[in-house]
Amino acid sequence: MILLLYSPVHALAVTTVLVLGDSLSAAYGLEQKQGWVALLERRLQQQCADCQVINASISGETTAGGRSRIDTLLDRQHPDILILELGGNDGLRGLPIAEMYNNLNYIITAAGHRRVTTLLLGMRLPPNYGPAYTQKFQNVYQRLADKHHIAWVPFLLEGLENERDMFQADGIHPVAAAQGVMLENVWPVLKDMLGK
């Protein structure tokens, strides 16, 4: 059992959070209500009845897929905050790092043009992809955060990577018990953004 401790965010204005991610945010292998995005929505609604979370995450999504959808999503949903959780599938498929960087850069820029604040969630790859590729992959997130001066979380799965029982049989997708840990990795940074 995971006890979620947090301090309230007071006097939240109407806030719409759009989550653009892959299977990690789409609650792959779980009921939607068990995923970390659903847990986030419940937490936000405790603070603000009019706050909403729109989960546009798709299992298997790549940064190219997110790039192809972002303009329509932003224009249709008019979010205040974009939580961007993409790149893992690019890395697992060994796609060029430059393409991943350019796609994420496009998404963040598109949000910025609409005055939407982005929170970037970082990912890491297993070591079997080789040190050169994995390091370049991991560096993409900090490079983009620095370039755009946006908030970021270095690793969405922080604290889970060595806990085998926190993953489903495929060894990639977290179980229900891990979703609260994922939320706690995101919440302190997001709470600070909401406070501003």
Domain that holds residue 175: 16-195
The answer to whether residue 139 sits within a structural domain is yes
Q: What is the CATH number of the domain that holds 114?
A: 3.40.50.1110
With bands split at pLDDT 50, 70 and 90, how would you rate the model's confidence at 50? confident
The catalytic residues are 23, 170, 173
Within a domain: residue 8?
no
Q: Is residue 4 part of a domain?
A: no
* Overall number of domains in the chain: 1
Asked whether residue 9 is domain-assigned, the answer is no
Q: Of 71, 113, 65, nearest to 85 (Cα)? A: 65
User: Which two three-digit tokens encode residue 112?
Assistant: 């910025």
107: left (phi over 0), alpha (psi -120 to 50) or beta: alpha
Residue 195: the pLDDT is 78
In a domain, 6, yes or no: no
Which DSSP letter does residue 189 get?
A: H
Residue 71 lies in a domain: yes
Q: What is the pLDDT confidence band of residue 48, given thresholds at 50, 70 and 90? A: confident
Whether 1 is covered by a domain: the verdict is no
Instruction: Considering only the C-alpha atoms of the chain, give the largest distance between any 2 of them, rounded to a whole number of Å.
Output: 47
Tell me what the mean pLDDT of segment 153-160 comes to: 98
pLDDT for res 31: 97
Q: What is the pTM of this model?
A: 0.93
Residue 84 CB partners (closer than 8 Å, separation 6+) = 20, 21, 66, 104, 107, 108, 111, 118, 119, 120, 121
Domain assignment present for residue 36? The answer is: yes
Question: Which residues, at least 6 apart from 132, have a Cβ–Cβ distance to it below 8 Å?
Answer: none
Which band of pLDDT confidence, cut at 50, 70 and 90, is reported for residue 47?
Answer: confident
Nearest residue to 56 (alpha-carbon basis) of 98, 19, 107:
19
- Between 6 and 27, residue with greater pLDDT: 27
